[in-house]
Amino acid sequence: MRVLVFSDDKALGGFLSSIWREVCFDAIAKRGLFVAALSGGRTPREYYRMLARESDLPWDKTHLFMVDERYVPETDSDSNYAMIKDALLREAPIPAGNMHFVHTVGADAAGSAEEYDNEIRNFFAVSGNDLPVFDLIVLGIGKDGHTASLFPGSPLLNESGRLAAAVFLKTAGHDRITLTLPIINNARQIVFLVTGEDKAEALRKTLRKKDDTMVPASLVHPEKGSVVFLVDAGAAMLLSQTEYEKV
């Protein structure tokens, strides 16, 4: 696991694009496809915009899923899909069928989570207890240490069967749908994007606590994959110099 501290957004975003590029070309060389899952929230927006400008990436062989979604219409400013559409899909020429978003109209959050779970299973053609393998998952960390829509003390932290599940938590702002830990921890590469002094405590706890259900981000450690934290100086301010590398 590496923690890399960047001096500005341009450097951090450029590094995300370089990791994306490396994992993408490797996945396509080996399996003919690159499959990633993206988080929403505020942090990634600017970095997704930078990524979208990488016009020589094989976007036609790229499939995108959502790490989580708020159960709101796409027109709602809190929609993660709306943010990804605006920041990434508007410029990156990804075929419409390659974007696997969570349907948030019609059914209820539970029905939507089940539908999304099935879409993931069908896409990866997995059956039974097999777990799909995402090539890359982009995660954020909330001030409370949540990641995806896995919140402190949530019973979902022990979920072992479902790949995606609904979250009904008043403090989460909206009903949500989220990937669960087994599929997150089965990824080949995980990239955490964490910026701002307001995330410093959550980042410190994430790095220093192991498997603390009150800090869900500390439960992310893929058995076979790698994790890298791309952070800014504000988020790193409570870390010791031995815990990170300045880039």
DSSP 192: E
222 makes contact with ligand 6PG (CB under 6 A): no
C-alpha 110, offset from chain centre: 20
Cβ-contact 184, 139 below 8 angstroms: yes
Stretch that binds ligand 6PG, among 35-43, 109-117, 118-126, 232-240 (CB under 6 A): 35-43
Q: How many CB atoms lie within 10 A of CB 198?
A: 11
Cβ-Cβ contacts under 8 Å for 213 (sequence gap 6 or more) = 152, 153, 154, 157, 219
40 makes contact with ligand 6PG (CB under 6 A): yes
| Torsional sign, CA 47, 88, 152, 127 | negative
- Count the residues of the shown chain that bind ligand 6PG, applying the rule CB under 6 A: 14
What is the closest distance, in whole angstroms, from the C-beta atom of residue 131 to ligand 6PG in the complex?
20
102 makes contact with ligand 6PG (CB under 6 A): no
216 makes contact with ligand 6PG (CB under 6 A): no
Of 43, 154, 180, 186, the one binding ligand 6PG by CB under 6 A: 43
154 makes contact with ligand 6PG (CB under 6 A): no
Binding-site string for ligand 6PG from residue 48 to residue 77, where x marks contact by CB under 6 A and - marks none: -------------------xx---------
Cβ-contact 231, 246 below 8 angstroms: no
- With CA atoms as reference, report the closest residue to 172 among 192, 200, 147, 190: 147
Of 140, 216, 222, 225, the one binding ligand 6PG by CB under 6 A: 140
Stretch that binds ligand 6PG, among 37-45, 116-124, 180-188, 228-236 (CB under 6 A): 37-45
189 makes contact with ligand 6PG (CB under 6 A): no
For residues 152 and 141, give the distance between their C-alpha atoms in angstroms, rounded to a whole number. 12
- With CA atoms as reference, report the closest residue to 33 among 82, 85, 95: 95
Residues engaged in binding ligand 6PG (CB under 6 A): 39-43, 67-68, 80, 140-142, 147-149
